């Protein structure tokens, strides 16, 4: 995680979090441990509780206990989770890092600021009258444009290939939803030799897909053409009975959206009058009873996590780097921010991007003084 | 211009501009005539003056006189231009369509709203205390993401090929500036078989270029590698003496930015100790006196206009369609908008995109009611 | 023409054509003059006659007269052409460079060898019992894989854009014929943002197109989908009445094949019950009488020559370089070659490629001695 | 395996192998069982021995024993292998299918024809004076252009991503060797967002890589630029000490060539003065002792087999389909073929391609009678 490491090194020198207490309700993993260490390098006291008992890596938790207050063990029950949140609140933090909104909900009246990294958490927090500013890190451009597009784009196809061993070249792949992740899936599928069809309800996005050279059409029409379908819309019931009824024998169905509601599993099972059987790990064959069989991957759950290794490590690096910078930003500027959910300032995106370029060994230009003056004047040339 | 035509047909049915007077200071061309007719189809009275005496097509102006008040002749002098503006102001318009800001500056206190289509005009208007809302149509997404990226992207390379007859495959093309137009130039150059290097001062844009697979480096380094250079930054002095000093024999220099200040022409001439001569129309060879020769296209003016046909017609179609919809929007909602420069509402971008898709014969899905409900609730799935 | 120049420089040093007379029946242009000078630099006496009176550049012919025997003036009649061939024959050449086969047909019994650069000429020569070896330069890999694919690929789209000013992004372009040129057109069209459909009768080529991610389908089906059609098959009647009957309003028809028979012009005119008119230079609108109009470019003649500048100069450079090397090869090895049409030895392709890489400033590795030994043994590793 | 299945169905109807005995020395796997069944469907008697005791799937062998004579068990010794070959020879086959050349070497004097599927086997057979024709199926276009390019291209990157979880976008990937597989790796790497550098010793291939937009340079220069290196040359010692000495910290080394000799493992170990340790399964970190660490994948063995699932199933389908058609061809035409190694007739490639298109659901055109006549006449149009 070279980007987070470079932030940690700067934090060690500058100590921007000196005297600050940070409470974090996050997945307790090796990556989180790196974040904790970066915050501590900046001078913070850190208290950590597990956002999800299933993801807790106990060895990591134990190692971290030497440096921070850590609550939670793998497989603990809901009461222990609640106790963890409560303990964090009692640490009287200025800053709360959250995954789901519970910690911020419990502490917002006394915080300088909060940071929330899930869409679900933001929905909840936006419905509240918050007593402090909360930065929506998962809506930052560095997250969306890079992690969703390039990270999830690659890992979604990786998941499909691992599950099926399909050769993408020569196949027709249908991407439903042309947001950042959909763009990434479409780009990578074309790059792998597939012929790509995009389905999208927003005309601006649909037009962009078309101008990028993809075919664009309604999903019902695409249903007849596709060999592989990837849903990534955020909506539910995107592929339904009427779509299954038109698909070709052997079609593969995968979901890259957050929840497993994009492919209508009830209607798929109802259509499978010939039965359902697992033909490969993570591949369920649905026999439509008329000679056609559809292959559902990972039970409709998000295929890059279920069938591949999820995000490449460097994607996590950008995410955690953004959290570290957001923490610093709240310490410095939190008092000036309006209570409620705030966008991450573009300047933080730019800092993360600059550090990432350095990690890739890429150098770029700076404006000359004369250019800066010219651009800020914006007068037409004499 | 199928998009503008479909708006005109709707305007004929709905008459949204009934009783409104629109004053327009625009280039008097066949495309503008189509805009005037669409506005009149919507019920407007239109008064038109020429924004630039050099671009006026007298036959178009004469034909339009049967339908609208038209001021201006090809080649008229500045006094006539000023008189035209004055005449428009006297028509007591509610809406002003402007190209440069003079008309709006003269009328803003009495307008419902204005529409400005140039960056230069917006700079001037933003420096004023405006008495009405002004929509910045050239900053709309449909303009930037489509016209700049796809339209100027294609026509810039078209201009370079027409001027030089170079085979792009196998060449190294350096794009300096990775805004919308730079993205388009880089994309098309790669699509033509060139190896593309991007130079950019903004780390977010630079990182995006890198993640798209382009090489990214400082311009001084790229100077040694490129066969063809395209500047598209908006800044001045982007290619200077220090760059020329490192370039290879035969390098081609083209500018795709608005003004002819991106390639430093003084420093180029100073470097040409061996003399300057026109070797082909629009190609000036600068002999550096040491065996190396640099080829400047179109005297550093914007190469797609100078050496090719400028924007493809359908690009103009989107621009004028946006102006027609912006006019309608101001009539309907202008009273509710804050005085000053306003962004074009995304809904207008979406309308233009939807009409463009229809013109391309592309159909898309709509959300089902259930999906709409799900998305607006944004609750996690039960 | 840097590749031909580097050959000329070597010829000056090595004089491989010392004492050889070369007769050439070629287009008398500036490029041909460069070839003549390269041959003379190698020691040859050269006699030149114009292959086509329409293409003769009289100033070039006059300049060449100081160095070589030159027959032909722009616009001369057939008798003068025949006299030119006769004069060349009387120069008693060892080597004949031909464009169409007439010169070789007249001299083959006394030649060391001939070089033919047109398909038409080769057809004629293959039907004869030749008295000497003839090298088929237009079938060499450097010609097909580079000139046809990259050169004609770029210039075909260039011709279409110049004639129509169409924005390729977002359009569906149908390429009929997936030989080298078709591959080039398809590649460049995709690179310009078009959605590309390939039609092809050979299953190997069709499968390759599909594996490259293009849609592949019969031309009748593609007729309904395309916005732009490019024929490049070598066959006749590729687009016929049945195709025109299914096309969309506004479809553009262009031919990139050698002869103007690929689009059936008789059937197109017959279908145009609403009349035919030129709407732009080189664009004939055929009104099908039912609201649909088809746009034929350049009267169905090869569109890159008719509507753009034909091959980029560097493409001619490769062609003439190959002719110079083929001449040298015939002088050295002609006696050992079988009479009849022979393929250009791959070694000459490789020499041209190596010189072209040098001209592009690209360096490559050589095998180490150990690697060469390993590869020639081809034994599995111990 | 739909292509092989369609051949089997035709064989059942046509019985082209009636009364023929086929001996096959192949890997005994499920795919081979499908080939055996196709041959039997055509009327052949089949005797099978295991080409490699490590790859034998005993359950497959047992199932096949009901239909064919099968020799070999997983893990058998060399004597058993020799006995298997001997038993096959005693079955007095007309046709021998071989993997390595031993079976053909033992039987060629009595065969109608043989089929060899490995490069190693062909080297041995070419060094012999063969008594029958042998078809080189692994040199067929369907093998090289499709399996090597698309199959190995995809699976090589798949192997690298599975081993390292690297995000390819933004990385510089160096492909050494631009044969069919190298082309595939380069194409897919670019499609995944990597910046691709090609190293190649053959100037024609190098020029093609350059014209495709890749950077081309000597490997020593590329050594300083790459994040990931893929060797695929067929040569040995392609990456050596001098290359390792210039590489960046963190560089990944993978081999996609047949043998593990392309990366010089001795020199790599010698360079690793800081030690070697496995940091992930299949990833060996070589510490160069100066802060730089190189990561060798799969001990330099072919990375798509070692770290991913090897060829996608449909690639095997094409290979075995070609073997079935080659068997039929030898039965029909073997007597007319010259003894020695013969190329697979292009007609078989075309048949495989046509069946593959059908399996993909792709239809193509056929020439009309008039077109066929025109093309065979090859006269210029009147």
Q: Map chain A to HEC letters.
A: CHHHHHHHHHHHHHCCCCCCEEEEEECCCHHHHHHHHHHHHCCCEEEEEECCCCCCCHHHHHHHCCCCEEECCCCCCHHHHHHHHHHHHHCCCCEEEECCCHHHHHHHHHCCEEEECCHHHHHHHHCCCCCCEEEEHHHCHHHHHHHHHHHHHHHHHHHHHHHHCCCCCCCEEEEECCCHHHHHHHHHHHHCCCEEEEECCCHHHHHHHHHCCCEECCHHHHHHHCCEEEECCCCCCCECHHHHCCCCCCCEEEECCCCCCCECHHHHHHHCCCEEEEEECCEEEEECCCCCEEEEEHHHCEHHHHHCCCCCHHHHHHHHHHHHHHHHHHHHHHHHCCCEEECCCHHHHHHHHHHHHHHCCCCCCCCCHHHHHHHHHCCCCC
Condensed to tens digits (0 to 9), the pLDDT of residues C193-247 reads 999 999 999 999 999 999 999 999 999 999 999 999 999 998 999 999 999 999 9
The chains in contact with chain D, meaning 3 or more Cβ pairs closer than 8 Å, are A, B, C
Measured between CA atoms, the residue of chain B closest to residue C185 is B192
Write down the mean pLDDT value for chain A: 93
The chains in contact with chain C, meaning 3 or more Cβ pairs closer than 8 Å, are A, B, D
Condensed to tens digits (0 to 9), the pLDDT of residues C113-132 reads 999 998 888 988 999 999 99
| Least confident stretch, B57-71, B183-197, B268-282, D278-292 | B57-71
Percentage of chain B beyond pLDDT 70 is: 98
Residue A292 has pLDDT above 80, yes or no: yes
DSSP state of C381: P
Residue-level pLDDT at B380 = 45
Alpha helices, DSSP H only, in chain B? Answer: 2-14, 30-41, 58-64, 78-90, 102-107, 119-126, 141, 153-164, 180-191, 203-211, 219-225, 241-244, 265-271, 303-307, 313-333, 346-359, 369-377
Across the range C154-171, mean pLDDT stands at 95
**Residue among B165, B166, B315 whose CB faces C167 most closely:** B315
Condensed to tens digits (0 to 9), the pLDDT of residues A295-315 reads 999 999 999 988 887 778 888
Choice between D27 and D106, residue whose per-residue pLDDT is larger: D106
Across the range D104-125, mean pLDDT stands at 93
Confidence of residue A378 (pLDDT cuts 50, 70, 90): low
Helix (H), strand (E) at residue B230: strand B228-231
D219 with C142: Cβ contact below 8 A: no
Condensed to tens digits (0 to 9), the pLDDT of residues B284-303 reads 999 999 999 999 999 999 99
Confidence of residue D380 (pLDDT cuts 50, 70, 90): very low
Of B29, B25, B181, B9, nearest to B116 by C-alpha is: B25
Choice between D219 and A378, residue whose per-residue pLDDT is larger: D219
**Residue among D193, D248, D312 whose CB faces A361 most closely:** D248
Confidence of residue A279 (pLDDT cuts 50, 70, 90): very high
Residue-level pLDDT at B248 = 97
Residue D161 has pLDDT above 50, yes or no: yes
Residue-level pLDDT at B313 = 80
Q: What is the ipTM of this complex?
A: 0.92
Structure tokens given for A14: 């500058």
Residue-level pLDDT at C378 = 53
Confidence of residue B51 (pLDDT cuts 50, 70, 90): confident
Write down the mean pLDDT value for chain D: 93
Residue B381 has pLDDT above 60, yes or no: no
| Least confident stretch, C307-311, C324-328, D10-14, D93-97 | C307-311
Residue C56 has pLDDT above 90, yes or no: no
Residue-level pLDDT at A246 = 98
A150 with D169: Cβ contact below 8 A: yes
Condensed to tens digits (0 to 9), the pLDDT of residues A136-188 reads 998 998 888 888 999 999 999 999 999 999 999 999 999 999 999 999 999 99
Of A64, A51, A37, nearest to A118 by C-alpha is: A51
Measured between CA atoms, the residue of chain C closest to residue B310 is C165
A169 with C211: Cβ contact below 8 A: yes
Choice between B322 and C305, residue whose per-residue pLDDT is larger: B322
Across the range C141-161, mean pLDDT stands at 92
Across the range C267-273, mean pLDDT stands at 98
* Report for B6-20, B60-74, C305-319, D313-327: range of highest mean pLDDT: B6-20
Condensed to tens digits (0 to 9), the pLDDT of residues A210-252 reads 999 999 999 999 999 999 999 999 899 999 999 999 999 999 9
**Residue among D150, D218, D350 whose CB faces C204 most closely:** D350
The chains in contact with chain A, meaning 3 or more Cβ pairs closer than 8 Å, are B, C, D
Write down the mean pLDDT value for chain B: 93
Residue-level pLDDT at A380 = 45
Across the range B245-252, mean pLDDT stands at 98
Tally of residues, chain D: 382
C261 chain-D contacts, CB cut-off 8 A: 374, 381
Structure tokens given for D173: 């990937």
Percentage of chain D beyond pLDDT 70 is: 98
| Least confident stretch, B176-180, B226-230, C217-221, C305-309 | C305-309
Confidence of residue A111 (pLDDT cuts 50, 70, 90): very high
B248 with C191: Cβ contact below 8 A: no
Angstroms from C276 CA to nearest CA on chain B: 22
| Least confident stretch, A318-322, D28-32, D163-167, D187-191 | D28-32
Condensed to tens digits (0 to 9), the pLDDT of residues B97-144 reads 999 899 999 999 999 999 999 888 898 899 999 999 999 999 998 888
Measured distance CA(A193)–CA(A169) in Å, rounded: 4
**Residue among B154, B171, B309 whose CB faces C168 most closely:** B154
Measured distance CA(C204)–CA(A66) in Å, rounded: 65
Whole-model pTM? 0.94
Measured between CA atoms, the residue of chain A closest to residue C172 is A213
Angstroms from B98 CA to nearest CA on chain A: 17
Measured between CA atoms, the residue of chain C closest to residue A209 is C170
Across the range B236-263, mean pLDDT stands at 95
Condensed to tens digits (0 to 9), the pLDDT of residues A319-338 reads 999 999 999 999 999 999 99
A146 with B210: Cβ contact below 8 A: no
Choice between B371 and D245, residue whose per-residue pLDDT is larger: D245
Residue-level pLDDT at C348 = 96
Residue-level pLDDT at A57 = 82
Residue D287 has pLDDT above 60, yes or no: yes
Residue-level pLDDT at C381 = 43
Across the range C74-92, mean pLDDT stands at 89
Measured distance CA(B206)–CA(B213) in Å, rounded: 11
Confidence of residue D58 (pLDDT cuts 50, 70, 90): confident
Across the range B17-21, mean pLDDT stands at 97
Determine contact, residues A115/A95, Cβ cutoff 8 Å: yes
Alpha-carbon dihedral D257, D260, D266, D268, rounded to 10 degrees: 50
Residue D204 has pLDDT above 80, yes or no: yes
B194 with D213: Cβ contact below 8 A: yes
Measured distance CA(B85)–CA(B78) in Å, rounded: 11
Condensed to tens digits (0 to 9), the pLDDT of residues B133-166 reads 999 999 998 888 888 999 999 999 999 999 999 9
Residue-level pLDDT at A118 = 86
| Least confident stretch, B184-188, D25-29, D43-47 | D25-29
Residue-level pLDDT at C382 = 43
Measured distance CA(C38)–CA(C24) in Å, rounded: 13
Residue C40 has pLDDT above 90, yes or no: yes
- Residues from D contacting A (CB-CB < 8 Å) are 150-151, 153-154, 158, 161-162, 165-171, 187-188, 190-193, 248, 309, 312-315, 360-361
Percentage of chain D beyond pLDDT 90 is: 78
| Least confident stretch, A50-54, A56-60, B11-15 | A50-54
Across the range C281-297, mean pLDDT stands at 97
B154 with C165: Cβ contact below 8 A: no
Residue-level pLDDT at D382 = 42
Q: Radius of gyration over alpha carbons of chain D, in Å? A: 23
Measured distance CA(D252)–CA(C197) in Å, rounded: 38
Contacts of B307 (CB under 8 A, 6+ apart): B158, B159, B160, B162, B163, B282, B297, B298
Residue-level pLDDT at D381 = 43
Across the range C150-170, mean pLDDT stands at 95
């Amino acid at each position: 995680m070279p980007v987070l490491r470079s932030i940690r090194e700067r934090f060690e020198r500058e100590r921007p979090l000196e005297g600050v207490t940070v409470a974090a309700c996050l997945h307790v993993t090796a990556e989180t441990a790196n974040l904790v260490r970066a915050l501590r390098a900046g001078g913070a006291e850190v208290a950590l509780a597990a956002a999800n008992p299933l993801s807790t890596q106990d060895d990591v938790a134990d190692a971290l206990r030497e440096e921070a207050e850590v609550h939670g063990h793998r497989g603990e029950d809901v009461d222990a989770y609640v106790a963890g949140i409560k303990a964090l609140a009692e640490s009287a933090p200025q800053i709360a890092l959250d995954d789901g909104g519970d910690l911020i909900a419990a502490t917002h009246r006394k915080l300088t600021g909060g940071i929330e990294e899930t869409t679900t958490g933001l929905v909840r927090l936006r419905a509240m009258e918050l007593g402090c500013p909360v930065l929506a890190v998962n809506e930052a451009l560095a997250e969306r444009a890079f992690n969703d597009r390039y990270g999830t784009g690659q890992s979604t196809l990786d998941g499909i290939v691992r599950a099926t061993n399909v050769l993408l070249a020569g196949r027709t792949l249908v991407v439903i939803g042309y947001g950042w992740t959909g763009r990434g899936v479409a780009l990578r599928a074309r790059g792998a030799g597939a012929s790509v069809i995009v389905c999208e309800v927003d005309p601006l996005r649909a037009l962009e897909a078309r101008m990028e050279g993809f075919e664009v059409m309604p999903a019902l029409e695409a249903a007849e053409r596709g060999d592989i379908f990837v849903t990534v819309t955020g909506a539910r019931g995107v592929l339904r009975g009427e779509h299954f009824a038109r698909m070709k024998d052997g079609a593969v169905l995968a979901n890259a959206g957050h929840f497993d509601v994009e492919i209508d599993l009830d209607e798929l099972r109802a259509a499978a009058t010939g039965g359902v059987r697992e033909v490969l790990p993570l591949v369920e064959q649905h026999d439509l009873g008329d000679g056609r069989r559809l292959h559902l991957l990972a039970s409709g759950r998000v295929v890059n996590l279920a069938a591949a290794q999820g995000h490449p490590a460097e994607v996590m690096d950008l995410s955690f780097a953004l959290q570290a910078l957001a923490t610093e930003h709240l310490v410095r500027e939190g008092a000036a921010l309006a209570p409620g959910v705030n966008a991450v300032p573009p300047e933080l995106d730019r800092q993360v991007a600059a550090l990432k370029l350095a990690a890739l060994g890429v150098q770029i230009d700076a404006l000359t003084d004369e250019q800066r003056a010219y651009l800020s004047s914006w007068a037409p040339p004499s």
